[in-house]
Structure 1
Amino acid sequence: MTTIQLYDTTLRDGMQGEGMSLSAAEKLRVAHRLDALGVHMIEAGFPSSNPKELELFDLLSRERFEHALIAAFGMTRRRDARAEDDPALRVLVDSFAPVCTIVGKTWSLHLEKVVKVDRDENLRMIEESIAFLRAEGKRVVYDAEHCFDGWHADRDYALRCLRTAAEAGAETVVMCDTNGAHLPGQIATAVADVVAHLEGTGVQVGIHCHDDAGVGVANSLAAVGAGATHVQGTMNGYGERCGNANLVSIVPNLQLKLGHACISDEQLASLTATSHYLDELLNRTPNADAPYVGKNAFAHKGGMHVAGVMADATTFEHMDPALVGNRRELLISELGGKGTVQARAEEAGITLDDAASRRLIERVKELEHRGYQFEAADGSFELLLRKEAGDYEPLFTLESWRVIVEQRADGKVETEATIKIWVDGERYVRTGEGNGPVHALDNALRAVLSDTHPHLDDTGLVNFKVRILDETKGTEAVTRVLLDASDGQEVWGSIGVSENVIAASWYALVDSLEYAVQDGREEQAAAARAAGAGKSAAP
C-alpha cells in the first residue's frame, strides 16, 4: 500500500467559508482533534495576519502533538525584493512551526494581471523564497496556485515552476486546482505528467482541490491514482465558495476503497465523531446525507432493503459503518416491513410477535397518511412499539389543558398554561409560565412530574421544528411538530400532528417526556450522574 500524507487546511482555507469563525482557543481544540484523527500536517494559517492568528500560534507553540506537524502559511517573496528582507517570509522563519507552506504563481494570466512580473522573475521568487526557508531549517511545502490552469495554458512553463520549487528544496510540490474548474480525467492527466517530469528529484507531488464543479473529492482521488502522495483538504469540505475537497470523504475512500495507508483503523473509527465535533463547534447542523459519516449514510427505509440488510448487510451496504464510527439506521415509514419493525423492537429490548408487528405496520401507515413521520421521531416510535407489546405505562391521564397568551401595550408577551391531569389516582391542577406555549406547558407538567420522576430535571429540548403539511389551506393547514430532546446521555425525537400548532406541540412534548422515563432510563441516568459526581470528587 502507498502511504498518503494527509494535510488539513481547515484552520486556514476552511475558515474562508461564509459564516466560519472560531476563536484561537477553539482552533487549538480543533488542532488536537485533527492530531488524534491522525492527520500528518495541520495548516494553522498566517502567523501574523491578525491578532487572533498571533494568539493561535502562541498557543500552538506550547502544545505537544502526537501525530501532526504544524504548518505556517505564507507566500513567495515580493517582487524586486530579496527573500531575506521580505517581512512575511521573516515571520515564517521566526515561527515555531517546523513546516512552512508557501504559495506561488504558475499561470501566466496571474503573472500579467495580478503579480505583474515576468516569467523569469516569478521563477526567481519561487527559488529564492524556498531556498531561504530551507537555509533557516524549515521544511517547505510549495503550493502551485492555479497549477492546472497554468499547465493547460503553457505546460512547459508550469513544469519549470514545479521543477524550480523541487530543486530549491521543497519536499512537496502541490498542484492546486484553485478555481475548482477541472474534472477528474483532466486532473489525472496533468498529475501523471508532473509525476513523470519530477521523477528522480525525490520530491513528492501533492493535490489541493476545490469543489466548485462538485468533484473535489473525485479529483483528489484521481490525482492519487495518477501518482500524488500528498492530499490537502478540509474537514467536512469547509471553504470559500463551494468549499474545499472534503477529507472526511477522501480518507475512507483512499483507505477502504483504494487500499492506501492514511491513518490507523482506530483513528478511522473516530471519523464520524470528529466530523460531527467540528460541525457542532462551528454551530452547524451535521449533514445527515454526508457520505460515510451522515446519519443517513447507512439508513434503510424500504422493506426489501431492510430485509436484505437483516439477512446480509452487504446486500445494501457498501461497507461496515462501524469502520468509520457510524451505525446502521432502520427508518420507520409506510414503506417499511415486518423486518424493520422487529429489528427496531429488538434494539429497544421489546418482544414483538408477528401479529403485533403486522398491526403496528398498519398503524404506522395510518398515522403517516395523517401526516406523522417516524424517521426522525424514534422516541415516539418506541412508544408505539411499547403500546403494541403491552409494555407501556403512561405518565398521566389528561383531563384538560389550556394556554393563555397575552401581549401588553408595552410589547411584552406573557404565556400561561394550566393543566389538569391524573397521576396514580390523584388529580393535579398546575399552572406554568414560559416564553411561549410549549415552554409554559412543559413547566406546568414538570411541576407535577418532577417529584416522582427526577430524571426529567435532566432532560431538555434541543431542537423544535414546525412544518405546514398543506400550504394551500393557509392557517387552517395541518401542522407537524418535531421535537428533539436530550438528557445529556441520549438524544431522541418525538412528533405531534394537528390542525392546531399548540396541540401538535403538546403531543410531541408528552411523547418526549414519556420516552425519557421508559425502560429504566431514569436508573441509567442516575447511575451516570453518580459516576460523574464520583469522578469530579476524586483527587
Structure 2
Amino acid sequence: MTQTARPFELYDATLRDGMQGEGMSLSAEEKLRVALKLDELGVTLIEAGFPASNPKEQELFALLAQETWTHSTIAAFGMTRRRDLRADEDPSLRILADAFCDVTTIVGKTWGLHLEKVVRVDPAENLRLIADSVAFLVGEGKRVIYDAEHFFDAWRDDREYAHRCLRAAVEAGADTLTLCDTNGSSLPMQIHEAVSAVVAELGEHARIGIHAHDDTGCGVANSLLAVQAGATHVQGTTNGIGERTGNANLTTITADLQLKLGIAALPDGHLPKLTETAHFVDELLNRTPRPTQPYVGRNAFAHKGGLHIAGIRADASTFEHVDPVDVGNQREILVSELAGKGTVVEKAADAGLEVSDEQATRIIERVKELEHRGYHYEAADASFELLLRRETGVYEPLFRLESWRVIVEQRAGGRVETEATIKIWVGDERFVRTAEGNGPVHALDRALRDAIAGVHPHLADIELVNFKVRILDETKGTGAVTRVLIDASDGQRTWGTIGVGENLIGASWDALVESLAWAEQPGRAVAAPAPRGDAADDDAVPVAR
C-alpha cells in the first residue's frame, strides 16, 4: 500500500501532551468527558495518556475500557524500553501490552545531541532500544505508532542516522512513523523537504505522520505542509494547548484539511461540531475560549467596520472565507462607534424590534457617546439590546431604584464580611432587603433576587458565569474609571452586559441589573432551568515529542 492510498488520520493528543501546558489539569472523569466529546466529533485516534506514569492515568484507562467508542480508537502512550532491561521485562512496556486498547504510541530518541547529553546512550544501542520495544508490542498484538522525537533537528544534524532510527522501527513492525518537531524549531519549507524524503524512502512500508509544536508560530502551517508532502497522520491538540507555546492546533488543522484541502478528516456531517467541541474543552479546563481563534473563535466571523458589514449583506463571501455554519460557528455583527445605520437595523431585527432611520441615527450617536466614556458593546450584546429598547420606548425595567448600600467589614483575624441593603419599588410596592455575600457583587445579587423573586420567578434560573473588571485610565490609579463586564447564563444561552463608572461597585451594579433585566424583557422566554450556582464575586510524567 502506498502512502497516498492510506486513509487519513487525525490524532488528538490533548489528554496527554496537552496537559503539559502551564495550568492544564483534568481529573480522570474530566478526561473521560473530553475523550467522549472527541469521539462524538469523529477524531480518528485519541491519545489517552501514559498509563505507567501515575494512578490517575491508570484510573482513566479503567474508565475508558468501560466505554463503547463509535468513531475513535484509544491509544496508550509510552517510551522505548530502559537500556538495562529487556523489552519483555520493562514494567512500562508491560503496562502498554496489557492495556485494553489495540494501539500504542511509543516515543524514542533520534537526535545525537539527546543521546549524548540526556540519555547517554550510544547510537547503536539506541537503535536496539527502538527495535526491541516496537517488536515486543507488535508481538503482543498491538498496532504501534512510533514517534521519532526531535526528528527534524536530527534530520538537519545527521540525516543518515535519523533515517536509520525510522528504519529500525519499520523493520520491527511499526505501522506508523510520526516525525516530531519536538522543539518547534522548524519552518514549513524544512518540514516539507524532510517529510517528502521520508515518504519517498519509507512511505510504502509505513504510514508517515507529523507532530508539530508552535514555537515559531508555524505549528499549523508545518502540519499542512507535511500533509502536502505525503503525511496521512496528523497529531495535535484541541485549541493548540500544550507545553511552552503549545502544540499544533488540531482544531484549526481539521477545518483547513476539510475545507481548504478537500481531505475528509472527519466523518461526513461532523465538521459543524468543531466549535462546540473546542469550547467544551476550554470550558472544562476553566479557560475562556480565545475569541480570535480561527474558525471557532467568537470573533472568527465578527464584522465591525461599516464597509465590511455592507459587503457581508451583499454577499457574505466578500469578507468570509468559509460559511461559519460549516464549522458550527455563527456570524456576528459588532456594534461600535464604527457602525452604520444598517448594523443597528440588523441588530434590532435580531431582537424582534423595528427602528426607523431617524431612530437608528440617534442610536449610533448615543453609542459613540457611550463608547467614548468607556462602554464597549462588542462584548455586551444584551446591554446593546437594552439600549435599543430604551431608545425605541419598549424597555420595561425590573424595578425603580430608591437606593442601595454595601458595607464591607474586616474583623480581627482577617475575616471579611460583606452586607448589602437595597430599597426598590416594583409597581406601587416597596421592597427593602438585606443580604450577606462573599463580596459586594454577590451580596447585591442575593438581596436583589430576594426582593423581586416573587415577581420574576425565572430569575432563579439565571447565574452569573463570568465577571471581568478593567481599569480604563491607569494614570489615575484607584480613582480611574472602571469597566465591568458580566456574562450570565440560563443553562442554554449566555449573554453579556456592561457597566462603566468611577465607582467599581456602582459599575458592577449596573451590569448586574442589566444581566437580569435582559432575560425578563417582553417575549424573552427564559430557557429550561439549569442547576443554580451563586453569583460571581469580584473575585504527569512529562515526556516531550
TM-score range, shorter chain: over 0.9
> Aligned with 1:395: secondary structure?
coil
Matched, 1:184 2:220: no
Contact kept, 8 Å, 1:453 with 1:522, in 2: the verdict is: no
Find the aligned partners of 1:407 and 1:84 in 2 and give their Cα distance.
Answer: 64
Q: Secondary structure at the match of 1:336?
A: coil
Question: Which residue matches 1:534?
Answer: none
2:124 counterpart residue number: 120
Q: Secondary structure at the match of 2:467?
A: strand
Residue number in structure 2 paired with 1:502: 505
1:92 is paired with a residue whose SS is helix
Identity of matched residues, %? 68
CA distance in 2, matches of 1:116, 1:445: 67
CA distance in 2, matches of 1:77, 1:239: 25
Measured against aligned partners, the alpha-carbon deviations of 1:9-64 in whole angstroms (never above 9, x if no partner) come to 11111111122111111111111111111111111222221111111112222221
- The structure 1 residue matched to 2:292, chosen from 289, 293, 312, is 289
> Structure 1 residues 137, 370: closer, same or farther in 2, change over 3 A?
same
Give 1:488-499 correspondences, 5 Å limit.
Answer: 488-499=491-502
Is 1:147–2:151 an aligned residue pair?
A: yes
Structure of higher RCO (CA pairs closer than 8 Å, 6+ residues apart): 2
192 and 403 in structure 1: CA distance in 2 versus 1, 3 angstrom threshold? same
Which of 228-237 and 47-56 deviates more?
47-56
Tell me how far apart the structure 2 counterparts of residues 413 and 199 of structure 1 sit (CA, whole Å): 66
Offset, 1:465? 1.7
CA distance in structure 2 between the aligned counterparts of 1:415 and 1:19, rounded to whole angstroms: 31
2:468 to 455, 465, 469: 465
Q: 1:51 aligns with which of 42, 51, 55?
A: 55
CA RMSD of aligned residues (A): 2.0
Q: In 2, distance between residues paired with 1:80 and 1:401?
A: 73
How many Å apart are 1:522 and its aligned residue? Answer: 4.0
Paired residues, what number? Answer: 528
| Structure 1 unaligned regions, length at least 5 | 530-539
Q: Does 1:104 align with 2:128?
A: no
Q: 8 Å contact 1:464–1:484 — kept in the other structure?
A: yes
| Structure 1 residue 523, shift from structure 2 partner | 5.8
Verify the 8 A CA contact 1:76 1:102 in the aligned structure 2: yes
Q: SS of the residue aligned with 2:230?
A: coil
Q: Quick one: distance in 1 between partners of 2:265 and 2:414?
A: 59
Residue number among 300, 304, 313 corresponding to 1:310 in the alignment = 313
Cα distance in 2 between the residues matched to 1:528 and 1:165: 52
Q: Distance in 1 between matches of 2:74 and 2:530?
A: 41
Distance (whole Å) between structure 2 residues aligned to residue 170 and residue 430 of structure 1? 70
CA distance in 2, matches of 1:342, 1:493: 20
Amino acid at match of 1:317: E
Equivalent in the alignment of 2:248: 245
Does structure 2 retain, via aligned residues, the 8 Å contact 1:301–1:330? Answer: yes
1:83 paired residue number: 87
Given the alignment of the two structures, is residue 204 of structure 1 paired with residue 197 of structure 2, yes or no? no
1:269 to 245, 268, 272: 272
Change (3 A) 1:52 1:523: closer
Where does 1:342-361 land on structure 2 (aligned, <5 Å)?
342-361=345-364
User: Compared with structure 1, are the counterparts of its residues 258 and 423 closer, same or farther at alpha carbon in structure 2 (3 Å cutoff)?
Assistant: same
Distance change in 2, residues 1:129/1:418 (3 Å): closer
Counterparts in 2 of 1:365 and 1:182: CA distance versus 1, 3 Å? same
Give, in whole Å, the separation in 1 of the partners of 2:234 and 2:58.
27
The amino acid that maps onto 1:213 is T
| Cα pair distance change 1:117/1:460, threshold 3 Å | closer
Distance between the aligned counterparts of 2:160 and 2:370, measured in 1? Answer: 67
Q: 1:447 to 1:59 in 2, by over 3 A?
A: closer
Question: For 1:399, which of 398, 402, 405 is the aligned residue?
Answer: 402
Separation (CA, whole Å) in 2 of partners of 1:192 and 1:286: 35
In the other structure, the counterpart of 2:66 is 62
CA offsets, 1:63-91, max 9 Å, x none? 21111111111222222543223322222
Match of 1:532 in 2: none
Residue 110 of structure 1: CA displacement?
1.9
Specify whether residues 199 and 518 from structure 1 end up closer, same or farther in structure 2 by C-alpha distance, changes over 3 A only: same
Q: CA deviation at 1:265?
A: 4.2
Residue identity matched to 1:481: V
Task: Describe the SS at the equivalent of 2:270.
Answer: helix
Shift of 1:194: 0.6
**1:263 to partner: Cα distance:** 0.3
Q: Look up the SS of the partner of 1:101 in the other structure.
A: strand
Distance change >3 Å, CA 392–CA 204, structure 1 → 2: same
Q: 1:438 to 1:25 in 2, by over 3 A?
A: closer
Residue from 429, 432, 448 that aligns with 1:429: 432
Provide the secondary structure at the position in 2 that maps to 1:158.
Answer: helix
TM-superposed CA distance for 1:376, in Å, is 0.9
User: Does structure 1 retain, via aligned residues, the 8 Å contact 2:463–2:489?
Assistant: yes
Aligned counterparts of 1:413 and 1:78: Cα–Cα separation in 2: 55
Alpha-carbon displacement from aligned partner over 1:86-112 (angstroms, at most 9, x marks no partner): 322222212221011111121122222
Paired residue for 2:457, among 454, 457, 460? 454
